[in-house]
Structure 1
Amino acid sequence: MESTKSDPVIAVALKAVSKTYGATRALMDVDVAIHEGTVHALIGENGAGKSTALGTIAGRVDFDGGVVEVFGEQLEPGNLRAARRSGISAIYQELTIIPHLDAAANVFLGSVLSRFGVLSASEMRRRYVQLCAQLEVGVVPAGVPAGTLSVAEQQLLEIMRSLVVDPRVILFDEPSASLAVEEREALYKAIEGLRKRGVTIVIVSHNFDEIERLADRVTVFRNGRAIVTSARGEHSRAELVRAMLGEQRGDQTLGRVLMDKPVEIHSRPVDSDASPILEVVGLSVPGVIENIDLEVKPGEILGIAGLVGSGRSTLLRAIAGAEPTARGTIRLSGVEQAWPRTVRAARKLGIGLIPEDRKGEGLVLLRSAADNIALSNLRAASSGGVIRRSKLRGMVAEASSKLNFPTARLGERSDRFSGGNQQKLLMARWLYDRPRVLLADEPTRGIDIGAKGELLESLRKMADDGVGVVVVSSELEEVLAVSDRVLVVAKGQSMGLIERTGDQQLAMEDVLNAAFGLKEIA
């Protein structure tokens, strides 16, 4: 029977799907129907089950009960190849880039182009350029080792890889989390173009603006269950938040997280006469950033704004001792120090870092959540050179509870947590061992709407306690909402400083004009 508007073709169906990890029920009798040629969003808190549901469709998760169907055909649980043969392509928040291979080789992993059985490098380069054009992002250099590219550029390679196999269904897990405004807009256009060509898109996202722009239908997950599925505009943003968090928590959250306007977290003016806790003069990293000056006062949050590739993350890494070729002058509380050449040297100066790549550079994934929180200061939980586990657990429990991290799971390995809970571990590390200066690179990447407000408030509270905080984020609205001042960088150079005047909000237009080089900051 031919389908009609009232009888759409079901591209993907989850029927009573369940999945248990030990004592944790990740999915419980989930029913979701995804229509062909639409964009269907899965939303919910970290750990609500949405990414696990995505994994069942991708063949990545061997679910315990129920059925997943792709265009009416039952999918074998946990079989990646079977899912791929069914036309499923998946892009995960965790990057699968091979660092030593060049960009083009990464795009064609598993789909090598050849002529007469011989690898055709020229054909792959030609197709690579076509894919870049399809995404409207410009050409990421094809011959550059992928490990040298930014996280955003690596994520674009993942997206291009998914397009190589001409999929019927593409699964996106937080695809825009590390992209700046320009790159994010290009991604949205690419997704809209795929939908017009009849490709079915399933997207996990915490970004409500993204969901409202792209999604034809939305399914809300809470505690492993699919709570409600609605068409575009059927439920308000406030109603969706309440469905995600429950009625009471939803009401509490609506007043303090990103809804129709930026988070209003800024709590008090910084003393303009206070001496800087951190001063950096003439910071340069060869080939990336040049001659950048900045200062941060106790109790201040300094935002760093710029497009992907502007050098904003390199700036933070250099101050944190993660860029050995960095040079410049650094002062802490007015005292000049030798430039930190290692992360350990920076820590001795009282500088902490939340890195952009939480899995590769932030966490020891095979260690417990408690161990990862205490990693910055194991001595505090030691006696006679021996770590006292009960003392450590008590100390980290206090820090993690401030972020609503489930303290009952502190003994679990860190690789078993959702991306958002992993990010909470990094923030809890610095609540446990407060630094003089905290550098936060993409601190809300992969964080759900409830946790996002909690984390930003934690940064503000640390600043209120006298810590100097520097924040880099692709979410420009968050930078403007939480920062006292914003330093704009473009092409590795400082474009100027935008300061808050009284209660006046920092203007996004001013930051974007400076970032694009359209207007100098007075």
Structure 2
Amino acid sequence: MSPSPERLVPRPGAQWATASEPAPTLRRDLKSTVAIRVRNVSKAFPGVQALRGVNFELFAGEVHGLVGANGAGKSTFIRMLSGASRPDTGDIEVQGSPLFFDNPRQQRSVGIAAIYQELTIIPEMSALSNAFLGAAPSRFFFTDRRRMERRFAELAEWMGLKVAAHAKAGTLSVAQQQMLEIMRAVQADQSVLIMDEPTAPLGPYERSRLYDLIGRLKASGVSIIFISHDLDEVLRLCDRVSVMREGLLVATKPAAGWSKDSLVGAMLGNVEITAAPRRARAGCDELLRVSGVTLGDSVADISFILGAGEVLGIAGLVGAGRTELLRAIAGAEPGARGALRLAGVERALPWTVRDAIRLGVVLAPEDRKRQGLVLSRAALPNLMLADLGGVAVGLVIDRAATRARGTALARQLGFDPNRLGVEALTLSGGNQQKLVLGKWLNRKPRVLLLDEPTRGIDLGAKQEIFQTIRRLSAEGMGVILVSSDLEEVVEHADRVLVMARGRQIGLLEGEDATVERILNLIFAVEDRAIATGAN
């Protein structure tokens, strides 16, 4: 029989309670019925006010949903709570005591743990070591591995996690890695868990297990902030739901007081955002035809046409297959199947990135730091990376030609030419993104694939990047834009292809291309998938 939550949840004030010494529930030892109280918290970044006087309460033993469109301020808010960022104004109390913002370790010491979309599992370490990372028990100054193993087995049984303690974490599924993150928080006696899109990578079975675990944690007194784009699961799991919009917390109600429609309305401010005037499809000559692109379970039979000079947006939630689709077209997924017709010539999908570049198809990836740039090199060599032959005389790089071409590219992108000698690592996110774009513009491609080009950059840099995109499309380049910011897609794309669960579910044009229409299409698919138990 599975151990009870009372038997396994650590005792407040102790590192853990052993199986022979049952721990009381956290609820009984709480000093306050309010686990977290946030008063008038604001935060600004260059060019953007991320949070505006936010007031928020999380009750002990409560599952509190936090929803909002991309860019609403959710990520900044939870970074404050987890200690990764300091507010400009306001204060935060945990269990009635003020929270100071020295570092995330302090937040964990007062009982707050965040489980982000990007997991913090160390792949080369064992599941056991990951679960006890930073909190391993000791005996006579040595790590007590036997005690770790016993506690791991108890927690794994209670959580329904079937993972060998000494299995390498990198070999586990995303769902299992996520459970390890939760185990790390539970065994370290965290009374508040922040879950950021925890079900995005999970199938129905894994989701049901996580839902069950959330219920157990709640019953044992753990408070949970639950962030998800799946509004049905928010309404089903949460006691109360708060909505954020444009840095404001605009409403908090019991879950029973919300419907999915009222949540969408609060997220959008009841204002339907439509695209800027779009060019008629008849005015665009076909540049690229994509047929039947399929990649494992990620992408299924996607087909579309991209016109010369068109910006085609691709919209969907996390895990919809948008990134995988772009990578398949760009030759970064050799296992992908499908065909292209580029400028009237039939071709198979490129097998390598180099093959795609030769065709004139290039990808500015989602992760600019690890996949788009060489951070240890200066801005100028990064701009030249994709076409060193263009500034070479024989086997020697022409420094004068390199400087002239780099200066011209920098001016096109709104990048200060005087900073071409600065190391890319030290540049802002906006300037790094300009370098990624400039690197590919140096190749003069036919088709530019942009995956989250404005993630993590300020408002001014966003405007400059979209001005560049519009200038390129006006010159005849075809652009495919993926962004989690649906307002961004609607505003800047001529048409919008909507994806959910790896499939194409709509192609919107003109007045049909609205944020509300996109969300309704996606939620309809999610509803059917949940009803049928489909992956």
Considering the TM-score relative to the shorter chain, is it more than 0.5? yes
Taking structure 2 as the reference length, the TM-score comes to: 0.59
- 1:506 is displaced (CA, Å) by 3.2
SS of equivalent residue, structure 2 residue 46? coil
Matched-pair contact (CA < 8 Å) for 2:128–2:148:
no
After superposition, the Cα gap between the structure-2 partners of 1:510 and 1:400, relative to the gap in structure 1 and judged at 3 Å, is same
Q: Is structure 2 residue 429 aligned with structure 1 residue 446?
A: no
Alpha-carbon distance in 2 for matches of 1:73, 1:485: 47
Alpha-carbon distance in 1 for matches of 2:349, 2:447: 15
- Residue of 134, 139, 160 corresponding to 1:110: 134
Q: Identify the residue that residue 433 of structure 2 maps to in structure 1.
A: 423
Alpha-carbon distance in 2 for matches of 1:304, 1:459: 15
Q: Identify the residue that residue 509 of structure 2 maps to in structure 1.
A: 500
Q: Identify the residue that residue 122 of structure 1 maps to in structure 2.
A: 153
Q: Is structure 2 residue 503 aligned with structure 1 residue 472?
A: no
User: Which letter does structure 2 place at the counterpart of 1:414?
Assistant: A
SS of equivalent residue, structure 2 residue 521? helix
Matched-pair contact (CA < 8 Å) for 1:46–1:418:
no
After superposition, the Cα gap between the structure-2 partners of 1:56 and 1:500, relative to the gap in structure 1 and judged at 3 Å, is closer
After superposition, the Cα gap between the structure-2 partners of 1:406 and 1:274, relative to the gap in structure 1 and judged at 3 Å, is closer
SS of equivalent residue, structure 1 residue 118? helix
User: Which letter does structure 1 place at the counterpart of 2:45?
Assistant: G
Q: Is structure 2 residue 307 aligned with structure 1 residue 276?
A: no
- 1:452 is displaced (CA, Å) by 1.9
Alpha-carbon distance in 2 for matches of 1:443, 1:306: 15
Taking structure 1 as the reference length, the TM-score comes to: 0.60
- 1:72 is displaced (CA, Å) by 9.1
Q: Identify the residue that residue 98 of structure 1 maps to in structure 2.
A: 122
- 1:442 is displaced (CA, Å) by 1.2
Matched-pair contact (CA < 8 Å) for 2:275–2:513:
no
- What are the Cα deviations for residues 391-437 of structure 1, in whole angstroms up to 9, with x where unaligned? 32332233334443343332222222333332232123234333111
After superposition, the Cα gap between the structure-2 partners of 1:477 and 1:430, relative to the gap in structure 1 and judged at 3 Å, is same
Alpha-carbon distance in 1 for matches of 2:398, 2:111: 52
Matched-pair contact (CA < 8 Å) for 1:263–1:482:
no
Alpha-carbon distance in 2 for matches of 1:483, 1:360: 27
- Residue of 447, 471, 490 corresponding to 1:437: 447
After superposition, the Cα gap between the structure-2 partners of 1:314 and 1:358, relative to the gap in structure 1 and judged at 3 Å, is same
Matched-pair contact (CA < 8 Å) for 1:266–1:460:
no
Q: Identify the residue that residue 308 of structure 2 maps to in structure 1.
A: 298
After superposition, the Cα gap between the structure-2 partners of 1:455 and 1:398, relative to the gap in structure 1 and judged at 3 Å, is same
Matched-pair contact (CA < 8 Å) for 1:89–1:170:
yes
After superposition, the Cα gap between the structure-2 partners of 1:116 and 1:507, relative to the gap in structure 1 and judged at 3 Å, is closer
How many residues matched? 405
- 1:446 is displaced (CA, Å) by 0.7
- 1:361 is displaced (CA, Å) by 1.5
Structure ID, larger Rg: 2
- What are the Cα deviations for residues 155-211 of structure 1, in whole angstroms up to 9, with x where unaligned? 998799678756799999xx78xx89xxxxx9xxx9xx9xx99999xxxxxx98352
Alpha-carbon distance in 2 for matches of 1:198, 1:434: 53
SS of equivalent residue, structure 2 residue 448? strand
Q: Is structure 2 residue 355 aligned with structure 1 residue 345?
A: yes
- 1:477 is displaced (CA, Å) by 1.4
Matched-pair contact (CA < 8 Å) for 1:439–1:471:
yes
Alpha-carbon distance in 2 for matches of 1:362, 1:148: 27
Identity of aligned residues (%): 38
Q: Identify the residue that residue 391 of structure 2 maps to in structure 1.
A: 381
- What are the Cα deviations for residues 327-385 of structure 1, in whole angstroms up to 9, with x where unaligned? 11111111012321111111111011111122222221211122222211122222233
Alpha-carbon distance in 2 for matches of 1:510, 1:276: 25
- Residue of 279, 287, 291 corresponding to 2:297: 287
Alpha-carbon distance in 1 for matches of 2:483, 2:83: 32
Matched-pair contact (CA < 8 Å) for 1:44–1:448:
yes
Alpha-carbon distance in 2 for matches of 1:404, 1:304: 26
User: Which letter does structure 2 place at the counterpart of 1:44?
Assistant: F
Q: Identify the residue that residue 44 of structure 1 maps to in structure 2.
A: 45
After superposition, the Cα gap between the structure-2 partners of 1:282 and 1:212, relative to the gap in structure 1 and judged at 3 Å, is same
- 1:310 is displaced (CA, Å) by 1.9
Q: Identify the residue that residue 517 of structure 1 maps to in structure 2.
A: 525
SS of equivalent residue, structure 1 residue 466? coil
SS of equivalent residue, structure 2 residue 286? coil
Alpha-carbon distance in 1 for matches of 2:496, 2:482: 10
User: Which letter does structure 2 place at the counterpart of 1:306?
Assistant: G
SS of equivalent residue, structure 1 residue 517? helix
User: Which letter does structure 2 place at the counterpart of 1:43?
Assistant: A
Unaligned runs of 5+ in 2: 1-35, 52-74, 86-93, 138-144, 162-166, 202-209, 226-242, 253-267, 529-535
User: Which letter does structure 2 place at the counterpart of 1:110?
Assistant: G
Q: Identify the residue that residue 369 of structure 2 maps to in structure 1.
A: 359
